[in-house]
Amino acid sequence: MTESTERTGPLVELRDVKVHFPVKSGVLFDRTVGYVYAVDGVSLSINRGETYGLVGESGCGKSTLGRGLLRLVEPTDGEIVFDGTDVRSLKGESMRKARRRMQMIFQDPLSSLDPRQSVESLLVEGLKAHGLAGDKAATAKRLRDTLAAVGLPASALSKYPHEFSGGQRQRIGIARALVLDPELIVADEPVSALDVSIQAQVLNLLEDIQNDRGLTYLIIAHDLAVVRHIADTVGVMYLGGLVEEASSDDLYREPMHPYTKALMSAVPVPDPQVEDRRERILLAGDLPSPTNPPAGCRFHTRCPWAQPTRCAEERPALREVLDGHRVACHYAEDIAAGRIRPHEVEPELVRPDDGAAPGDTGELIPTP
Amino acid sequence: MSLLDVRDLTVVFQRRGERPFTAVDKVSFSVEPGQTVGLVGESGCGKSVTSLAIMGLLPRRGNKVTGEVNFDGTDLLKLRPDDLRDRRGRDIGMIFQDPLSSLNPVVPIGIQVAEVLERHRGMDRKAALKEARELLDAVGIPDPNRRLKEYPHQISGGMRQRALIAIALACKPRLLIADEPTTALDVTIQAQILTLLKQLVDETGTALIMITHDLGVVAGLCDTVNVLYGGKVVERAARHELFARPRHPYTHGLLSSVPRLDSPRGERLHAIRGSVADNIPWGEGCAFAPRCDNVVDACLEGTPPLEPTATGGDLRCNNPVSEEVAVP
């Protein structure tokens, strides 16, 4: 492999990854009575130096997929290829060594940092585990450099997590991942526990670090606006499967899967003029249980565009509909061309004010 | 006359051996009948404590509430606990953030809705359950007959929030206080609940106080918005005015630090520097001064007053953002 293809090629490839959790029941014997199909056949690839954003609502399996990638939960099936090696075939020591190259940032910095460990001890722990803490002077420099990279003073080393604010704690969490000089960082809801003013600081920081070090990110979040801002490619998950994947701009400009359309239209925009004019697609009901997902397309039970044929019987594959825009919907082209109209009665299409003419599908977010 | 008129509401938390902490500092605002008013701010700005103080739901010990909360001419802070209980639930309803912890886990949903009707409208159980069924239907809970007998854990988060709204609206209150009603919910469910709230407010003419950290929620819902920082109102404006021309550097900073679905990509976010830990006490100046880009000498010389603006709002700032500066 030449140097140049190595730089641009995929760092991570997932092929038909499944994570099923058994549901146990019984008094004396744990019988498996069913499975939670948390992740059910996801294929995606993340290019080197890029940010892949995974969005979806709670219970869609996005966090499980991120953990599955790092084998923090053991995938049931599928292939996880990291830089040419199948991670699932690695055992014991070789897996542990591989983990240095893939690190994780968690949602809640307070519960993911040991309250009784000082920042120094938190950071050194990883280095020691990978045999990188041999030289004292070099280690001290490494710690200082890492803290500087996340915008914390060197004096932070001797402090404990409770002495920091939420945003600073998240910086410590980022420093802990960075200190091992990884190639991939999986960040599970890195900013959702933070206030908006702090969110922006942490998002900017993540971008700066990526620019400096050429890191690859998998960012998992429920906030579409955050993911769109930071990610190059976005994948939308629903009930254990990827329903749409496109570049961030394309996905926003033309969401093609009905679920993505609904999700986009539901995100409130801090602009009253936009809010007053926007069309909102309200989904009927709640997410079905992942233990018993609907047959066929998993979204057909709530889909305003569902058709009597195929949708309930055949699970749509994720296929390339436009260049680089993959959608798992049988009727993606027909919906985009307006040949299929959303159902009228249930689930309903609600407009905030009935200003627009009937039949006018409108824009999800009108451009000013 | 305003339906609710809050004057100089102050809440001081006092614990033995610790310095008293002023969570809400002379907050004043009013709510007209049928109006939706937003209280916006980040964690620790005092928005939830304000609502709890209005409802008289703060713990009896460890805090001091002063000021006036005039609801329809009566000062709620001066009412005896019994009289307050009569009004709470009947005249004022409240919806909390986490529907699972605000519903009783061992009582069926139907009984919890009926209880309110029995307590405040003197109905018997049978009539109350019948009405409860209708209420659940009105808030969009499918198959209400079956849900009446179910317990909170048996229904989804969105449905629980609907049940809570049904309880809050059972007595057709004139004022509804919603404290982060959609924060625990997914966006598509949030859209359902917000649409429902908007509908109910339009239909029943209930006034609504919406407490949230999410500027997007406010943008689509509130007539007037109060922005709180460090326990004080720093800016108050009509919805369109506030979002088009935020004058307080904090409001401006908040609006430009959130990534928006419809803004161009690839630009850096304009973060507000520092955190609330950097705040200085209001007595010494503007609490926001250490984080503010517009800071001038006057900001460190006592509390800036809340002054009316030309556009009918109020502003607490010595050096506001110029009206020409748009949010990026």
Whether B240 sits inside 8 A of A272 (CB atoms) is: yes
Average pLDDT over residues B158-171: 90
* B271 contacts A171 by C-beta, under 8 angstroms: no
Given a cut of 90, whether residue B209 has pLDDT beyond it is yes
Given a cut of 60, whether residue A365 has pLDDT beyond it is no
Whether A225 sits inside 8 A of B190 (CB atoms) is: no
Given a cut of 50, whether residue B33 has pLDDT beyond it is yes
Residue A97 C-alpha, separation from nearest chain B C-alpha, in angstroms = 35
Model pLDDT, residue A359: 36
Which chain A residues are within 8 Å of B259, Cβ to Cβ?
200, 203, 225-226, 228-230
Q: Which of A202, A226, A229, A236 is the best substitution to test chain B (most B C-beta atoms within 10 A)?
A: A229
Packed helices A258-266 and B187-204: angle between N→C axes, nearest 10 degrees:
50
Which chain A residues are within 8 Å of B189, Cβ to Cβ?
57, 286
Whether A195 sits inside 8 A of B261 (CB atoms) is: no
Q: Which of B183, B185, B187, B225 is the best substitution to test chain A (most A C-beta atoms within 10 A)?
A: B187
Model pLDDT, residue A357: 35
Tokens of A349: 């299409």
Q: Which of B141, B217, B261, B292 is the best substitution to test chain A (most A C-beta atoms within 10 A)?
A: B261
- Tell me what the pLDDT averaged over chain B comes to: 90
Whether B216 sits inside 8 A of A275 (CB atoms) is: yes
Tokens of A170: 């998240």
Q: CA-CA distance, B323 to A88, in Å (whole number)?
A: 58
- B288-318: pLDDT as tens digits: 999 999 999 999 998 999 999 998 999 999 9
Given a cut of 80, whether residue A202 has pLDDT beyond it is yes
Confidence band, pLDDT 50/70/90 cuts, at residue A233 = very high
Neighbouring residues of A244: CB distance < 8 A, sequence distance ≥ 6: A235, A236, A251, A255, A256, A257, A259, A260, A318, A325, A326, A327, A328, A329
Q: Give the phi and the psi of residue A253 in degrees, each rounded to 5.
A: -65, -45
Nearest chain B residue to A252 by CA: give it. Answer: B261
Given a cut of 80, whether residue B263 has pLDDT beyond it is no
* B243 contacts A271 by C-beta, under 8 angstroms: yes
Model pLDDT, residue A196: 85
Whether B259 sits inside 8 A of A225 (CB atoms) is: yes
Model pLDDT, residue A8: 65
Model pLDDT, residue B114: 95
Tokens of B21: 């902490």
Nearest to A270 among B158, B216, B273 (CB): B216
Output A26 or A184, whichever has higher pLDDT: A184
Residue A15 C-alpha, separation from nearest chain B C-alpha, in angstroms = 28
Model pLDDT, residue A234: 96
Residue A86, amino acid: D
Q: Is A231 on the interface with B (CB under 8 A)?
A: no
Nearest chain A residue to B291 by CA: give it. Answer: A197
Q: CA-CA distance, B322 to B152, in Å (whole number)?
A: 50
Q: CA-CA distance, B166 to A122, in Å (whole number)?
A: 48
Q: Which of B198, B262, B278, B327 is the best substitution to test chain A (most A C-beta atoms within 10 A)?
A: B262
Pick the closest to residue B133 from B121, B120, B117 (CA basis). Answer: B117
Which chain B residues are within 8 Å of A200, Cβ to Cβ?
257-259, 269-272
Find the range with the poorest average confidence among A40-49, A167-176, B178-187: B178-187
